[in-house]
A and B are shown apart, each in its own frame.
Chain A
Amino acid sequence: MAKKPVTFTLNGSDRAAFAEEGLNLLEFLRRGIGDLSPKYGCGQGACGACTVIIDGETHLACLTMADAVHGRKVETASGLANGKVHPLQEAFMEYFAAQCGYCTPGMLMSAKVLLDRNPSPTRADVIEAISGNLCRCTGYEPIIDAILATANMRARA
């Protein structure tokens, strides 16, 4: 199978690696680059565990061909903490917004894009923003609370 060089920015650092033809971005990030924070949940685009941010928009890594990120900026949960934990991470910890933690990296990506675009979301906005990220443990309530709390905290600051 043919391999193509892919050069991109991952969480602010330049990266380059070869991707096999047809390889999805999820496998490429995990096994090709070594960023294990995006998770495999379905490979069908239906669970959101592999959500990453590409040029400021959330995408499903499992449905993205690896070479599609050539020359683009990719962000993952492993890059969210920049020296210290991100306010969303702090809120997820404080609000017990994770149990098994498997959906958490993807959930954080969706939450980050929401707050980057809409600093004071309503509960309905939050629900819409995380609707592509399934969670089997929490019943979503603590996740919604954590995201709203982050927005409130930022508004006060």
Chain B
Amino acid sequence: MIEFRKEFFANERDDNLNEIGKPTRRQDILGHVTGRSPYFDDHLFEGLLHIRCVRSPHHHARIRRIDISAAEKMPGVVRVLLGKDVPRNLNTLLSLLDFGLDDEPVLSETKVAYKGEPVAAIVAESEAQARAAVLAVKVEYEALPHVLDVEDAVKPGAPVVCGIYPTNKFIYHGKFDHQKLRYGDVEEAFSRADHIVEGRYQMSPIEQAPMETCGAIAAPEINDRYVCFTSTQGLFFSLGTAAKLLTMPSSRLHFVGGTVGGGFGGKVDSMHEPLAILGAMLTGRPCKYAWDREEEMQVGAPRGAERWYIKDGVARDGRILARKFTGYFDSGAYTRLSSYAIIKGVGHLPGPYTIPNVYADVFCVYTNRTPATAMRGFGITGVDFAIEAHMDKVAEAVGLNPIELRILNSYRDGDMKAHRRTAKNCALVECCQVVAEKGGVALSPASRAATSLIDGGGERGRLPARTATDQNGAVSGYRGGSYGKKGGGASAMQPIRMPTPTDAARAPQRPAAPAYQPPAASPPSAPPPAPAMETPRHGALRFSSLSGFRRR
């Protein structure tokens, strides 16, 4: 039951195109219905070996000893992999963007920080043999106190989950233990509000649950290369991660994928490719490493849980004068993508509304649980639940129909947003109006007449006269840098010209070299000098500030 309301924004579109806008069948559909679409596991190899991991039964424990002698003698076992076999056994996913510190090993050597963390990997002739050998690896653990709740984890004296971030909080900009948003002065606005509405919201961890579990098959390819068939959502992302962990030039890696049985964000983490390739390197044979469903659900990274506190100051007529957020993202034991999800979330606050005073402190918190990662709606789904459940409470507090409240506060073209950029291309008012009409909800004449196109801007488009800032959560010992300010910032802020279909004759635009390059590739031109960001705290480890997406 779908209708296209072409009357909206009709003058902004040319609806007479040849192929765009047509309900063309999917290019891949014949393969899907005949069962011939080639997913990563649909490649057969002679002599395929199977990898399965030995996993921590503890939330948090020191590893005293790993004894693989019995496992090595088990039938079908070809090799047992340990952390020391991984050429560079520490990574953080976004290091490819120079974002954050390496914090997570492929196979842990010293301690485990969540139940299910891998400490060794069996490479065997059959999956059944690999499973049997997993049980034969003897790991001696010394259990450590653990912490599972985000607010417990940020209390002084909480067990340290990941030593690289000793306060269990990701460090933003080398400056604060959280990401701030400061726009206007919420406290001042609260003092003159007619209503204060407060709420606490909790999202649950959610599994992406693609029908195909995550996995990869790697095999020695001709001429000293490795081919890797993978379910990854980012082919070069996984290739770059594997190249880094295996200290191997990207030119020796040949990744094949592109046809994936669902992802929803759960196939970005690149856990499988490096281990499968390592297996192939050390055995000289094709190796498959894939999660079974149980692993997919409990050691595969979920959409992390988020906890949000929202406080609104509201005028009698329903206008929201101020909104304050405190957010905790449960990152689990390592960073993966949570730190970035927060940036995306903070850029999204306070939701699709024009509110003159906005404040947020958002923490990326480490706990002793499975690391979280991306999922459909990355950084947004959780806070949108909080905002919109909260809006319902605000509507009740001021006695307004919930749709009227949204339209009243909705952002419009030309409004200033809390991240200090002007809103454009808005359409929230219209969506609300269409749904009200379909659902038979009566709107006031003012709400019916509202539009995203002309009601905004003016006073609504101006920055606040004053913004209250603070140094809460300032950290020392980190030296933050800022990509933007150290060469490149100016260009980064320039508007970009987009290629348009009516623009055929124009010479193709060639932006500057991409910021991310595979680690082993030699730069095509002299890179800009790297800002001095070495952290004095962590020796060789390098810290990039939050926005320190440094060029190499």
Contact surface of A with B, Cβ cutoff 8 Å: 20, 22, 31, 34, 36-44, 46-47, 49, 76-78, 80-81, 85, 88-89, 92-94, 96, 98-105, 108, 134-137
Q: Which 5 A-B pairs have the closest CB atoms?
A: A37-B35, A101-B32, A102-B261, A77-B35, A42-B293
Contact between A98 and B262 (Cβ–Cβ < 8 Å)? no
Nearest CB of A to B215, in Å: 9
Q: Report B210-268 residues with CB < 8 Å from chain A CB.
A: 210-213, 260-264
Contact surface of B with A, Cβ cutoff 8 Å: 25-26, 28-39, 41-42, 44, 48, 126, 128, 209-213, 260-264, 292-294
Q: A40-B213, A81-B34, A102-B39 in contact; A22/B29 too (CB < 8 A)? A: no
Contact between A134 and B34 (Cβ–Cβ < 8 Å)? no
Contact between A100 and B211 (Cβ–Cβ < 8 Å)? yes
Contact between A100 and B34 (Cβ–Cβ < 8 Å)? no
Question: Which listed residue, A44, A80, A100, touches B261 by the CB 8 Å rule?
Answer: A100
**CB-CB < 8 A to A85: which residues of B?**
30, 33-34
Contact between A44 and B128 (Cβ–Cβ < 8 Å)? no
Interface centre among A42, A46, A47 (most CB of B within 10 A): A42
Contact between B28 and A101 (Cβ–Cβ < 8 Å)? yes
B interface majority secondary structure? loop
Q: A37-B36, A77-B34 in contact; A136/B292 too (CB < 8 A)? A: no
Q: A78-B35, A89-B34, A100-B261 in contact; A41/B212 too (CB < 8 A)? A: yes
Q: A22-B128, A37-B36, A80-B34 in contact; A135/B211 too (CB < 8 A)? A: yes
In the assembled complex, the Cα of A37 lies from the Cα of B31 at a distance in Å of 10
Interface centre among A22, A98, A100 (most CB of B within 10 A): A100
Contact between B34 and A36 (Cβ–Cβ < 8 Å)? no
**CB-CB < 8 A to A31: which residues of B?**
44, 48
In the assembled complex, the Cα of A89 lies from the Cα of B37 at a distance in Å of 14
Contact between A40 and B32 (Cβ–Cβ < 8 Å)? no
Given A36-B44, A44-B294, A104-B32, output 12 extra A-B contacts at Cβ < 8 Å. Answer: A22-B128, A36-B35, A36-B36, A40-B213, A78-B35, A85-B33, A93-B26, A94-B25, A96-B29, A98-B29, A101-B33, A108-B35
In the assembled complex, the Cα of A93 lies from the Cα of B26 at a distance in Å of 8
In the assembled complex, the Cα of A104 lies from the Cα of B39 at a distance in Å of 13
Question: Which listed residue, A37, A105, A136, touches B209 by the CB 8 Å rule?
Answer: A136
In the assembled complex, the Cα of A47 lies from the Cα of B28 at a distance in Å of 23
In the assembled complex, the Cα of A36 lies from the Cα of B31 at a distance in Å of 12
**CB-CB < 8 A to A34: which residues of B?**
44
Q: A36-B42, A42-B293, A101-B261 in contact; A78/B36 too (CB < 8 A)? A: yes
Contact between A102 and B212 (Cβ–Cβ < 8 Å)? yes
Sample 20 A-B pairs with CB under 8 A, ordered by A number. A34-B44, A36-B38, A36-B42, A37-B35, A43-B293, A46-B293, A76-B35, A80-B35, A89-B33, A92-B29, A93-B26, A96-B29, A98-B32, A101-B29, A101-B33, A102-B210, A103-B211, A104-B32, A104-B35, A134-B211
